[in-house]
């Protein structure tokens, strides 16, 4: 979706949202298993670690994402040569890296998908497979003891 | 599902741009070569399926669940 004007849409979660053209992220291959290719980052709370990757095509489709290094200081992204060639990024740290978050009723059940991070660079996004050894697909974000009141 | 039997070394063409070749067969393991446009993602299916499941689970989150965690974290 090429646009030079603000994109406005009605999010089922957040109501009316305005997106600046430079905030639109095109996913040439979409997100794995999900339809659509145009998304934008939507931040709802100041200093929350979570932001939303919101579809610009489906008003009900949005995924919480986070910067993995906020929770996993030694997180590593390793791409196969084929993946690096596919997305046109040789060094993953050149891109903005996000991981999807599976939310739950309790914070101590939140998990991040470290196996399939999302790399954003130059208005384009790609969900890639991380070949690093320790990259669980469901990595708990919070230790229960950290959350105890 | 289309089912095709190949011997070692033989290939399958998917359209004009994709070729799959049996490179080696050893016991229970088949080594498969895939020639496809660089832009086409190729995954082990179980990884693709698991990531799809996590994406769908993430997309179920509602705004009230995803909130700033307590200050001590």
CATH code at position A101 = 2.30.290.10
Give chain B positions within 8 Å (CB) of A138. Answer: 54
Residues of the domain holding A67: 7-142
Cβ A105–B41 below 8 Å, yes or no? no
**Could you report the per-residue pLDDT of A28-60, keeping only the tens digit for each?**
999 999 999 999 999 988 889 999 999 999 999
Cβ B61–A103 below 8 Å, yes or no? yes
* A104 falls within a domain: yes
Domain count, chain A: 1
pLDDT value for A132: 96
Cβ A113–B54 below 8 Å, yes or no? yes
Read off the pTM. 0.90
Q: Which residue of B lies nearest to A88 if distances are taken between CA atoms? A: B39
* A149 falls within a domain: no
Minimal CA separation from B63 to chain A, in Å: 6
Task: Evaluate if residue B16 carries a pLDDT over 90.
Answer: yes
* A82 falls within a domain: yes
Burial of B16 (0-12, 13-18, 19+ CB in 10 A): exposed
**Could you report the per-residue pLDDT of A55-66, keeping only the tens digit for each?**
999 999 999 999
Contacts 24+ apart (CB under 8 A), A20-26: A22/A123, A24/A56, A24/A123, A25/A53, A25/A120, A25/A123, A25/A124, A25/A125, A26/A1, A26/A123, A26/A124, A26/A125
pLDDT value for B73: 45
Cβ A137–B54 below 8 Å, yes or no? yes
CA B9 – CA B47 distance, rounded (Å) = 26
Interchain contact A14–B (C-beta under 8 A): yes
ipTM, two decimals: 0.91
**Domain range summary for chain B, segments of one domain joined by +:** 11-58
Task: Evaluate if residue B25 carries a pLDDT over 80.
Answer: yes
Give chain A positions within 8 Å (CB) of B36. Answer: none
Q: Which residue of B lies nearest to A113 if distances are taken between CA atoms? A: B54
């Amino acid at each position: 979706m090429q646009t030079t004007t603000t994109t406005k849409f009605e999010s089922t979660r957040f109501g009316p949202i305005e997106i600046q053209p430079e905030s639109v992220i095109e996913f040439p291959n979409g997100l794995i298993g999900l339809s659509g290719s145009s998304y934008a980052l939507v931040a709802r709370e100041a200093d929350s670690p979570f932001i939303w990757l919101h579809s610009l095509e489906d008003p009900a489709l949005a995924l919480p994402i986070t910067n993995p290094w906020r929770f996993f200081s030694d997180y590593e992204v390793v791409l196969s040569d084929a993946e690096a060639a596919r997305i046109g990024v040789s060094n993953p740290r050149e891109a903005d890296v996000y991981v999807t978050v599976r939310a739950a009723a309790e914070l101590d059940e939140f998990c991040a998908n470290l196996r399939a991070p999302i790399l954003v660079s130059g208005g384009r996004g790609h969900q890639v497979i991380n070949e690093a050894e320790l990259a669980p697909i469901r990595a708990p974000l919070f230790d229960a003891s950290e959350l105890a009141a | 599902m289309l089912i095709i039997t190949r011997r070692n070394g033989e290939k399958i063409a998917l359209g004009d741009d994709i070729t799959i070749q049996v490179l080696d067969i050893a016991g229970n393991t088949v080594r498969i070569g895939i020639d496809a446009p660089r832009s086409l993602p190729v995954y082990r299916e179980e990884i693709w399926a698991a990531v799809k499941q996590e994406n769908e689970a993430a997309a179920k989150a509602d705004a009230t669940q995803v909130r700033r965690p307590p200050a001590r974290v």
